Amino acid sequence: MRSTIITTALFGMLAAAVPLKRQQAYGTSINVIVSSGLDAQKVEEPIPMQFNNLLQLDNLSVSGAVLDTNATYGVNPRQVECQFYMDTEGVKPAGLALNYTSTPVEFTTNLVEVNSVICIVKLADQS
């Protein structure tokens, strides 16, 4: 009887010690260039992004952006596309879309103000 109680208690402790499965993270990171496009030593600031979420940037002055493919989680980095916007509603695009093949994107040699950005996951090529 005593060995049954000890065995049951041991299995209970082992079950409690098993770590819970963590939720899979889905997102990426963009490094925005906050120095002039003519500056030889470009200054980059990271912006962590969740997919399908329009992020407000509050008149962030940038000259370009780089998609950090090493900081893309949960999806193939080749399927990620990000778009900066001049407005907070995500209507007026600021430059080309940022993706695996277009990184880095330079908006201008001067600084421009952007107000929002969104990153999406495009479907894999069906061909």
Secondary structure of 31-44 in the HEC alphabet?
EEECCCCCCCCCCE
Q: Is residue 3 part of a domain?
A: no
Digit-coded pLDDT (tens) for 20-55: 555 566 899 999 999 887 777 889 999 999 999 999
- Model pTM? 0.75
pLDDT of residue 42: 85
Distance CA 103, CA 37 (A): 15
Radius of gyration of the chain (CA): 22
Please indicate whether residue 67 or residue 6 has the higher confidence score (pLDDT). 67
pLDDT at 7 over 50: no
Average pLDDT over residues 67-82: 91
Q: Is residue 13 part of a domain?
A: no
Q: Is residue 100 part of a domain?
A: yes
CATH number at residue 60: 2.60.20
Q: Is residue 79 part of a domain?
A: yes
Q: Is residue 17 part of a domain?
A: no
Q: Is residue 21 part of a domain?
A: no
